[in-house]
Structure 1
Amino acid sequence: MIEAVLQLRNVTKTIGKRNIVDNLSFDIPAGEVFGFLGPNGAGKTTTIRMIVGLISMSKGEAIVKGVPVRQNFELAMTHIGAIVENPEMYKFLTGYQNLVHFARRHSGVTKARIDEVVKLLGLQNRIHEKVKRYSLGMRQRLGVAQAILHRPSLLILDEPTNGLDPAGIRELRDYLRKLTREEGLTVVVSSHLLSEMELMCDRVAIIQAGKLVDVRPLQGYKDEQGTKIVVEVGNKSAARELLVAVVGESKVSERGETLEVAADRAAIPELTRMLVGAGLEVYGIHAVQRSLEEQFLEITGGEMVV
């Protein structure tokens, strides 16, 4: 059984009479890139801030490598590296000088470790330049380098792709994958970009109004729930009536001149036989993958996932 690096147990944050985060509970195993996904104000950043101790929990516990954050904060934090919002750097210093400075906060971070992290994040060519000359993507990578100097088990990144261009986003994504592979890190990331979450994460927690809606493998989401069947027929209204009677009204929708049925590709032969058997002219029937946006809009009741 894979060890859980981070466990949330009924984590709650109450402000006034309102639960900003409401009884969140889930486990994140080692070596996974895990995403927080939800509409604006869902409680993603609040959850991250509670895990790293920037704000207190009203109830519940976050457990990092078996260490409860509320009961033993200092020991728990030795297992965490984090960037909440933007990485803070001394811009008048070089990238290397920044890393040396941050290394002093942790015992046992050697020059060899600093050099190892610089190479791991692909910073060798510009590490001796002043940070004020770095692009946002370079500063993000330097921030990640700083966060993993002390060999944490868990790296937490709050909106790391904010402000990055497509090349910078891809670069960061590749380095995060490299860290999980070569350093054995578990990465928790929040993002407002659905397409990036799909490419970056193994699983996501969908959070809405402070509550956990679901925790799902992204590939599983595509395989299990991501298919729709597009039907082009001569008599659309008659076909719709027939399909609704078989699969239910909620699974049939109209898109221009076609009908869309929320069903797996394996249903195509049966639906075709049924339509043809009813005397309808079928001009085309094929399966397409529903976008992640469509799936998450559905599960969050129509609210845009950000």
Structure 2
Amino acid sequence: MNEPIVQLQGVTKRIGRRTIIDKLTLDLPLGEVFGFLGPNGAGKTTTIRMMVGLMSITEGEILIGGHSIRSEFHKAIRHVGAIVENPEMYKYLTGYQNLVHYARMIPGITTERMTEVIELVGLESRIHDKVKTYSLGMRQRLGVAQAIMHKPKLLILDEPTNGLDPAGIRELRDYLRKLSQQEGITVFVSSHLLTEMELMCDRVAIIQNGKLIDVRSIQSNHSSTALSRYVFEVDEPEAVIRLVQAEGLTVEREGNAVAISTDKEQAAEWNARLVRAGIKVYGMRVLNKSLEDQFLEVTGGERIV
């Protein structure tokens, strides 16, 4: 298994007597889009600021590419591209001139690499227009292009969809997934848009009051082996309950229906088995918990901001 690109090891941040982040331990695998969720004041931005060296760590360690952000900052940060809050550009310059300006700060960035990232974020047709004529979504994409020019292993985005319209959000989502797949970059993204995170991310970490509550895999929700609740509408619910309990599975009665916790393949087999047993099956549907349901479940219903 590949070494995680980021390791947060017991990271704590205290300001005065207040603990903002409390012993946060988290690994970010290489090549994934990893979401960071939490209610208002949970510590998302504080964590990101510590990861990029904008805020000191009280206790614990953050390793990026195996290097400590505390004691080997320059070695660690060379693996990172980041946009904290909004990407800042020179609006009186063109998109291309902005990229040239940033490229001069980092040795080894070629014209070919600049062309590559411009194509990757889909700005070929507008790159020579002044940034003041760009939509917010285009500025976000230009910011991503600037952040990945030096081929980082980690791209950190703090609320990148703020202010974007639905089309802009979808475009950004598609580009971030393409980045992780084509460039092998780990994208670490915080957002308050649960639906977008569900579509965008491979995994999400949920924090509350500065503590890690859970890490959830998003893709597994849609796999054939993931456990879900399948509801069977039948004429003899009690008979179904006896059959299922005899197999040691979790089953609940819901009126004239029963809900069985099983995977996709087994649900199909149960449907056939019930019919063979002479039980009439009027319908079957799956009840997958959305990311929003899961979030509210683990945070006790706190609002996310």
TM-score by length of 2: 0.84
Cα distance per residue 1:204-246 (max 9 Å; x no partner): 111111111112211234568773344668999x9xxx9xx99
Are the aligned partners of 1:31 and 1:180 in contact in 2 as well (CA < 8 Å)? yes
Tell me how far apart the structure 2 counterparts of residues 199 and 258 of structure 1 sit (CA, whole Å). 34
Task: Please say if 1:292 is aligned against 2:296.
Answer: no
Q: 1:284 to 1:126 in 2, by over 3 A?
A: closer
Match of 2:219 in 1: 219
Q: Share of identical aligned residues, percent? A: 61
Tell me how far apart the structure 2 counterparts of residues 197 and 90 of structure 1 sit (CA, whole Å). 30
Q: CA RMSD in A?
A: 3.4
Match of 1:175 in 2: 175
Q: What code does the residue aligned with 1:208 have?
A: Q
Tell me how far apart the structure 1 counterparts of residues 234 and 120 of structure 2 sit (CA, whole Å). 56
Match of 1:87 in 2: 87
1:14 deviation in Å?
A: 0.9
**Runs of 5+ unmatched residues, structure 2:** none
Match of 1:264 among 262, 265, 271: 262
1:288 deviation in Å?
A: 2.4
1:7 deviation in Å?
A: 0.8
Task: Please say if 1:197 is aligned against 2:197.
Answer: yes
Are the aligned partners of 1:230 and 1:258 in contact in 2 as well (CA < 8 Å)? no
Match of 2:32 in 1: 32
Q: 1:187 to 1:233 in 2, by over 3 A?
A: same
Tell me how far apart the structure 2 counterparts of residues 258 and 51 of structure 1 sit (CA, whole Å). 53
Tell me how far apart the structure 2 counterparts of residues 228 and 205 of structure 1 sit (CA, whole Å). 23
Match of 1:304 in 2: 303
The equivalences for 1:16-165 within 5 A come to 16-165=16-165
Tell me how far apart the structure 1 counterparts of residues 299 and 145 of structure 2 sit (CA, whole Å). 35
Q: What code does the residue aligned with 1:293 have?
A: E
Moved over 4 A (4+): 221-226, 229-236, 251-254, 257-262, 265-271, 281-285
Q: What code does the residue aligned with 1:99 have?
A: L
* Secondary structure of 1:263 counterpart: strand
Greater Cα offset, 226-235 or 182-191: 226-235
Q: What code does the residue aligned with 2:212 have?
A: L
1:100 deviation in Å?
A: 0.8
Cα distance per residue 1:49-75 (max 9 Å; x no partner): 110011111111111111100001122
Tell me how far apart the structure 2 counterparts of residues 292 and 113 of structure 1 sit (CA, whole Å). 37
Q: 1:228 to 1:104 in 2, by over 3 A?
A: same
1:112 deviation in Å?
A: 2.1
Tell me how far apart the structure 2 counterparts of residues 20 and 268 of structure 1 sit (CA, whole Å). 48
Tell me how far apart the structure 2 counterparts of residues 80 and 191 of structure 1 sit (CA, whole Å). 19
Are the aligned partners of 1:268 and 1:285 in contact in 2 as well (CA < 8 Å)? no
1:20 deviation in Å?
A: 1.0
Q: 1:163 to 1:226 in 2, by over 3 A?
A: farther
Are the aligned partners of 1:293 and 1:305 in contact in 2 as well (CA < 8 Å)? no
Tell me how far apart the structure 2 counterparts of residues 77 and 234 of structure 1 sit (CA, whole Å). 63
* Secondary structure of 2:8 counterpart: strand
* Secondary structure of 1:139 counterpart: helix
**Runs of 5+ unmatched residues, structure 1:** none
Q: 1:104 to 1:59 in 2, by over 3 A?
A: same
Are the aligned partners of 2:221 and 2:288 in contact in 1 as well (CA < 8 Å)? no
Cα distance per residue 1:142-175 (max 9 Å; x no partner): 0000101111111101111111112111111111
1:282 deviation in Å?
A: 8.7
